[in-house]
Chain A
Amino acid sequence: MSVLTAVLVALGILVVIGCAVRAAAARDDLVRLHMLAPVTALGVPLLGLGVAITASWTWTTGTVVLIVVLLAVTGPPLTGAIANMIAATEQEDR
C-alpha cells in the first residue's frame, strides 16, 4: 500500500466515521438524514480513489468505480424518499 493510498483511505474512513457519529448524536431526524450525503459523495469516493490508485488498470478498479458511481446515484433519491416519509409522518401526528 503506497503512502498516497494510505492517506486517501484514511481520509475516506475519517469522513465516514465523522458522519456516522454525528448522525447518531443529532437530535432531529432530518439532521441525521443530511449526514448520509457526505458519506456517499465524499467518503466512499475518496476511499475508492485510494483503492483505484493501488490496483491501477484492473477489474478491481472497474468494480470499485462501479460501486462508487452506483452509490452516488442511488443516494439522493433514497434520501428524498425517506424525507417525504418523515414529512408525511409528522403531518399525521399533527
Chain B
Amino acid sequence: MNGWLVAALVLLAGGLLPALWLGATGPAVRRLIGLQLAVVVLVPELILLSMAFGQSSYLIVPVVLVAASFAGTLVYTRLLKAGG
C-alpha cells in the first residue's frame, strides 16, 4: 500500500461516486454531463493507478480514453439532439 494507491482510492470514493450518480439518474442530457464528468475524473484516477503499479507503459490507457471519449461525446451530442 503506497501513497499513490491511497490517493487513487480517495479519488475513487470522492470523485467517481458523484460522477456515477450523475450518470445514472435523470434524463439523457443530465446523464451525458455525468458521463463527461466520469471521464474527466477517470483520467487522473488512471494516472495515479499506473504510478501505484510503477508501470509507466500503462499511461497509454488514459491517452486513448481522452481521445475516444472526445469522439464518443460528440456522437452523443449529435444523435441525441437530432433524435429530439
State if A and B touch, Cβ cutoff 8 Å.
Answer: yes
Chain A residues near B (Cβ < 8 Å)? 1, 6, 9-10, 12-13, 16-17, 20-21, 23-24, 29, 32-33, 35-36, 39-40, 43-44, 47-48, 51, 54-55, 58-60, 63-64, 66-67, 70-71, 74-75, 77-79, 81-82, 84-86, 88-89, 92
List 14 contacting pairs A-B, 8 Å CB cutoff, sorted by A.
A9-B48, A13-B7, A13-B14, A13-B44, A16-B44, A17-B15, A24-B18, A36-B33, A55-B56, A59-B56, A64-B59, A78-B73, A82-B29, A89-B29
Interface 1/0s, chain B 1-44, versus A by CB < 8 A?
01110010011001110110110000001101100110011011
Chain B residues near A (Cβ < 8 Å)? 2-4, 7, 10-11, 14-16, 18-19, 21-22, 29-30, 32-33, 36-37, 40-41, 43-44, 47-48, 51, 56, 59-60, 62-63, 66-67, 70, 73-74, 77, 80-81, 84
